[in-house]
Amino acid sequence: MQRNDDPEFWQSVTGTLEQGEKPIETARREVLEETSIDITQSAYQLIDCQKINTYEIRDRWKYRYPPDTPYNTEHVFVVEVANDQAIVLTEHSAYLWLDKALAMQKVWSYTNREAISLYVPDANSSI
């Protein structure tokens, strides 16, 4: 998905843990908020990849974090949705369905590239 505030920045669904929320709950909520996909209602399987990334926050986004917060922690989840799944964007200006190689080229962050590399099957793979 293409960010509204940076047209060069393409990314997966992301979000912030709310008070008392578990990472998997955040993942479900953020997918719903950003794409209108209700994982539970659609009976999709949300998989916890048991992968946590820590990365330096971009200077242009530090205002979103508490003062003196240099790093962000990212929990990686994956969900497979139907090919004809409707998407309604709320926080992004565009989205694309791409094959694995093109998706890895398109996303801005190395953690997104790594997640696509590790958890998205190739087009000719079966899952």
Does the annotation list 91 as a binding residue? yes
33 annotated ligand binder: no
* Residue 93: its H or E element: strand 92-94
**How far is the C-alpha of 92 from the C-alpha of 64, rounded, in Å?**
17
14 assigned to a ligand binding site:
yes
Q: What span, in angstroms and rounded, lies between the C-alpha atoms of 104 and 118?
A: 11
Q: What are the residues whose beta carbons fall under 8 Å from the beta carbon of 59, sequence distance 6 or more?
A: none
Where do the H-state alpha helices sit in the chain? Answer: 23-35, 100-106, 110-119
- Please check if 74 is assigned to a binding site: no
Q: Is 35 annotated as a binding residue?
A: no
Residues 81, 102: Cα–Cα separation, whole Å: 18
Q: Is 30 assigned a ligand-binding role in the annotation?
A: yes
Tell me the binding residues for Mg(2+).
30, 34, 91
Binding residues: 3, 14, 30, 34, 91, 109
Binding residues for substrate: 3, 14, 109
